[in-house]
Chains A and B, each alone.
Chain A
Amino acid sequence: MRTLFFYFLIVCAGTGGELCVARGMKVVGEVKDFRPLALLRLIPRALRIPWMWLGVALMTTAFFSLLAVLATENVSLVVPVTALSYGAGALGGKFFLGEQVTPRRWAGVLLVCAGVALVVIGRG
């Protein structure tokens, strides 16, 4: 039961956090200068965006949940289970970020989810 709760946190808090970070980075704008100094200057700009803070907080929650699960489960099982967030991620991309999720992209996401199911069923 405890492991299931941590899996829930990993998937929901993780996906929610990533969506918030994605929204924050869209506000920052496309990064075109990859020199270290330019990347360092990017950090304070990103940190001024509330979406980033919310995203980092949610992802931190997911991260500690991941650590807790890794203490008892094999990494080759735990990490694929986190891929259940792909369906939620595609929905979030469409409705929260306004992206065009084409049928082909949905097909790819479904293949990924099916692969995850096989990975979980195939637990040795």
Chain B
Amino acid sequence: MKSSAGLHFKTYFLILLMVIFGPLGNVLLGKGMKGMPPATSGIVQQILDLIPRILASGTIWLGIASLIAFFVAYMLVLSWADYSYVQPASSAAYGMVALLAHFMLREVVTPLRWMGVILICFGVLVVGQTPPRTTEQN
């Protein structure tokens, strides 16, 4: 197993970017989709119906931009760190989602759901104590 301060720093930094941009993108998409009536036709038609809606919504475009930033950080960190490390470590984003959903979208977040979010964050701390990389680089 390989581990170093530099490796940890750049891994944590990129995961931090993921934790910021991932939830922000999801919340913006949620906000953009919220005002649209659900389609009543088939699944394929429902997906096709989404495309013109996306093109017409600035909020959804902002959400997509945030998710692209998230994806770039995600790809970069995966070039050296374990997927089984990055995936759970980045779940700290769920706390962020609950906060954004509560304060931006005015959604009801129950105490039990807050407890779940805290448990998720605790799991992230446990995963964060393992080495980010356990495989040899090419």
Contact = CB atoms under 8 A, between A and B. Distances in A.
Nearest to B105: A75
Chain B, interface residues (CB within 8 Å), range: 35 or more
B84 A18 contact: no
B80 A30 contact: yes
Contacts of A26: 78-79, 135, 137-138
A109 B30 contact: no
A39 B72 contact: yes
A93 B83 contact: yes
B19 interface: no
Secondary structure class of chain A's binding surface, majority of residues: helix
Given A26-B135, A71-B33, A115-B118, A122 B111 contact: yes
Interface of B: 1, 23, 26-27, 29-30, 33-34, 36, 38-39, 43, 46-47, 50, 54, 67, 72, 74-76, 78-80, 82-88, 91, 94, 97-98, 101-102, 105, 107-130, 134-135, 137-138
Given A67-B33, A78-B30, A93-B83, 9 more contacts: A5-B43, A21-B78, A25-B75, A71-B34, A90-B84, A97-B84, A104-B127, A112-B127, A118-B112
